[in-house]
Chains A and B, each alone.
Chain A
Amino acid sequence: MSAFSAIGEEREIDRDEYTPTVEPQATWCPGCGDFGVLKSLKQALPEVGRTPEETLLVTGIGCSGKLNSYLDSYGFHTLHGRALPVARAAALANPELEVIAAGGDGDGYGIGGNHFVHTARENHDMTYIVFNNEIFGLTKGQTSPTSPKGHKSKTQPHGSAKTPIRPLSMALTSGASFVARTAAVNPNQARDILVQAMEHDGFAHVDFLTQCPTWNKDARQYVPYTDINDSEDYEFDPTNRADAQELMRETEDKLYEGEVLTGIYYREDDRPSYQEEKKQLGELPEEPLAERYFDEDYDWERSYDRFIDQHK
Chain B
Amino acid sequence: MADDELIWRIAGGSGDGIASTSQNFAKALMRAGLHVFTHRHYPSRIRGGHTYVEVRASADPVKSRGDGYNFLLALGDSFARNPQEGAYYGNEEVKPLSENLDDLREGGVIIYDEGLLDPADVPDFEERVEENDWHVFPLDLRGLAREQGREVMRNTAGVGATCAITGIDLEWIEELMADAMPEEIFEPNLEILETAYEQVSENYDVDAPDINVPEGEHEEEQLLMSGSDAIAYGAIDEGCRFISGYPMTPWTEVFTIMSQNLPELGGISEQVEDEIAAAALAVGASHAGAKAMSGSSGGGFALMSEPLGLAEMSETPVVLIEAMRAGPSTGMPTKPEQGDLEHVLYTSQGDSHRVVLAPGTVQEAYDHSRTAFRLAYDYQIPSVVLYDQKLSGELTNVPASHFDREPNPTMGKTLTEAELEEQPHTEDGKFLRFQHETDDGVSPRSIPGQKGGRYLVTGNEHNEAGHISEDPDNRVAQVNRRFQKLDAIRADLDENSLLAPYGPEEAEYGILTFGSQQGTVEEAVDRLNANGTSVKALAVNELAPYPVESVEAFVESVDEVLVVEMNASAQFRGLTQKELGRYGEKLHSLLKYNGNPFEPAEIVEGFETSIVEDGELPGPETKFVPAAGD
Contact = CB atoms under 8 A, between A and B. Distances in A.
B426 interface: yes
A15 interface: no
B263 A282 contact: yes
Nearest to A285: B266
Contact of B290 (A22, A24, A290, A303): A290
B291 A76 contact: no
Nearest to B411: A293
Interface in B443-475: 447-460, 465-470
B173 interface: no
B296 to A, nearest CB: 14
B501 interface: no
A155 interface: no
A129 B124 CA distance: 72
A89 B456 contact: no
B18 interface: no
Given A3-B416, A78-B310, A293-B289, A302 B407 contact: yes
Contacts of A21: 426, 428, 430
Nearest to B466: A75
Given A69-B456, A89-B281, A293 B291 contact: yes
A302 B236 CA distance: 9
Nearest to B237: A303
Interface stretch (A51-59, A158-166, A219-227): A51-59
B288 A290 contact: yes
Contacts of A52: 454
Contacts of B306: 79, 82
Interface string A56-90: 10100100001011001111111100101111111
A303 B465 CA distance: 38
Interface string A291-306: 1111000101111101
A284 interface: yes
A168 B277 CA distance: 22
Contacts of A85: 272, 276-278, 280-281, 284
Leading 9 A-B pairs by shortest Cβ distance: A290-B289, A89-B284, A4-B449, A86-B284, A77-B458, A85-B280, A300-B407, A90-B288, A89-B281
24 contacts: A3-B450, A4-B451, A53-B453, A54-B449, A69-B456, A72-B454, A75-B455, A76-B456, A77-B468, A79-B306, A82-B310, A90-B284, A92-B242, A93-B242, A94-B289, A94-B449, A97-B288, A288-B449, A290-B449, A300-B407, A303-B237, A304-B261, A311-B229, A312-B221
Interface of B: 31, 221-225, 229, 232-233, 236-237, 239, 241-242, 244, 260-261, 263-270, 272-274, 276-278, 280-285, 287-292, 306-307, 310, 314, 400, 403, 407, 409-411, 414, 416-417, 426, 428, 430, 447-460, 465-470
Interface of A: 1, 3-7, 9, 20-22, 24-25, 52-54, 56, 58, 61, 66, 68-69, 72-79, 82, 84-94, 96-97, 114-115, 117-118, 278, 281-285, 288-294, 298, 300-304, 306-308, 311-312
